[in-house]
Amino acid sequence: MATAIKMIEPGANEFLASLEGKGKRANPFFRTMAHRPEVLRAFVPFYGAVVGPGSVDRRVKELVYMTCSFANECAFCTAAHVASSKKAGIGDEEVRAIQTGQDHGFSGAERAAIRYARELTQTAAADESREALFEHFTDEQVAEITLVAALANFTNRFNNGLNILPEE
């Protein structure tokens, strides 16, 4: 059996306790990140600033996050963002299309964002897909889409590296 990192209990971390006290259930990602409380305190508002309201539609942000998470085979982020994608109007067939790389059913702008996120995840560059992104999005939106993809890759690697899985 693989060695697993221990999760911090909310009683041992005031900020974690306040997060879980807001009606949210136990979050293995936060409980693991709480080993570095100052990082957890900085991460939560940063995450909200990146994935929250901005110049890019929530649907596009969810498509980008899911694309990265499927490409990285991150079970935790995939489960979380498949669930949150429903609130952004993404259907089950669209989720399967992202998972299988079948982008043709999406709008041109969505396809450009998906392909950019996939290439950025796979190569840490986006030489082939970047131009198409600029055909559909402003500079501000391209920066925001890149932040979402970078954040997804960060959380995917944190979760995969430490074998953090979604709770049943």
Per domain, the residue ranges of the chain are 10-51, 58-162
Report the C-alpha gap between 34 and 10 in whole angstroms.
9
| pLDDT reported for residue 42 | 98
Distance (Å, rounded) from C-alpha 142 to C-alpha 120?
A: 13
Per-residue confidence (pLDDT) for residue 56, from 0 to 100: 98
CATH H superfamily, domain 58-162: AhpD-like (1.20.1290.10)
Q: What angle do CA 45, 34, 18 make, to 5 degrees?
A: 60
Helix residue ranges, H only, the chain: 14-20, 28-33, 37-51, 58-71, 75-87, 92-100, 108-123, 130-136, 139-162
Q: Please enumerate in sequence order all residues whose Cβ is within 8 A of that of 87, keeping only pairs 6 or more positions apart, or say none.
A: 58
Q: CA distances (Å), 75 to each of 121, 142, 157, 161, in order?
A: 16, 26, 11, 12
Residue 116 near residue 101 (C-beta atoms within 8 A): no
Q: Is the pTM of this model over 0.75?
A: yes
pLDDT at site 60? 98
pLDDT score for 21: 83
Q: What is the pLDDT of residue 37?
A: 96
10: left (phi over 0), alpha (psi -120 to 50) or beta: alpha
pLDDT tens-place values along the chain, 168 residues long: 567 899 999 999 999 999 988 766 789 999 999 999 999 999 999 999 999 999 999 999 999 999 999 999 999 999 999 999 999 999 999 999 999 999 999 999 999 999 999 999 999 999 999 999 999 999 999 999 999 999 999 999 999 999 999 986
